[in-house]
Amino acid sequence: MIVSMTGFGRAEKSSDERKISVEISSVNNRFLEFQMRLPKNLAELESRIKKLLSSGLSRGKIYFSLTMESGLPEEGRLALDRAKADLYYSLLCELKKRHKLGGEITLDHFIVLPDLITAQIAEVDLEKTWEIVEPVCQMALSSLNDMRRAEGQSLKADFEKRLGLIEALVSQIKGRFQDNYRVYYEKLKKRISELLAETPLDEQRLATEVALLADRLDITEETIRLEVHLESFRDALGRDEAIGKRLTFILQELHRETNTIGAKSADSGISSLVIGIKEEIEKLREQAQNIE
């Protein structure tokens, strides 16, 4: 089944104690690449989450976001070191008395003192937390893949349409070449005869040379290979695996054979059909870049 690399999935789970939300989005990328956003106190879960995502994804740039509300002490909660504050106060009082300083000791004196107020990162039981987080990640991943598969089916329909257009153009090229093959032969023979008008002409040798030249212009093999590659492309669309790289390779071969036909052809009609094939191949290439 064709799977697009573009999609979005979201899942959340709520209870009296906490609310967990997971969002996963993906865009096309040559390899599988992650950009993670987790609460600091859950940073150690990153490797587990990547392993889980890798089990269901093959290519794409993946943006992952997890948020957790309640249930755990607030991340970044500010805490006052009371013992240190008492010590600072005692030292300030001692300085005031020793140096006979006037005025009162106020809050302003404490604000500039270091390490009185610190941010506390909540400690969590990672194993228990993972038991809760993992199913939510799985649900979000399933949602993402559902969207990627749906997008893949739309792309498949477009692929089938363009493959049909290319096949029709190849059929026209074959018919036109077969109709004009004898014409090519006669034109070449006439031209050579004109060039050698004053030279004794060996009819058998001339026929052989013209046949060899006409054979070099023959595009039968190229059209056959085009049809084989088109069938390979269609076969790949039915595979239950990641096929993006395979499609890209087949498209390169399609383009190569089409170029050869264009280079060999002396018929403006065939050249026009070749341009049409190249246009469709380019559209297929653009779409294939979104396939996993």
Look up the pTM and report it: 0.67
**Burial classification of residue 194, based on how many CB atoms lie within 10 Å of its CB (0-12 exposed, 13-18 middle, 19 or more buried):** exposed
Provide the pLDDT for residue 257. Answer: 94
> Which has the higher per-residue pLDDT, 91 or 123?
91
Provide the pLDDT for residue 102. Answer: 82
56-94, pLDDT tens digit by residue?
A: 999 999 999 999 886 544 545 677 888 888 888 888 888
Locate the domains of the chain by residue range.
7-72+126-148, 77-120, 150-288
d(CA 261, CA 217): 9
CB 2 within 8 A of CB 152: yes
156-172, pLDDT tens digit by residue?
A: 999 999 999 999 999 99
Provide the pLDDT for residue 78. Answer: 74
Provide the pLDDT for residue 72. Answer: 46
CB 137 within 8 A of CB 49: yes
Q: How far, in Å, are 129, 132, 214, 270 from residue 72 at the CA level?
A: 10, 13, 81, 71
- Which pLDDT band holds residue 210 (cuts at 50, 70, 90)? low
- Which pLDDT band holds residue 119 (cuts at 50, 70, 90)? low
12: helix, coil or strand?
Answer: strand
Question: What does DSSP say about strands 60-69 and 19-27: parallel, antiparallel, or unpaired?
Answer: antiparallel
CB 6 within 8 A of CB 288: no
Tell whether the model's pLDDT for residue 122 goes beyond 60.
no
Provide the pLDDT for residue 142. Answer: 96
Give the count of beta carbons closer than 10 Å to the beta carbon of residue 18.
14
The class that CATH gives domain 7-72+126-148 is: alpha beta
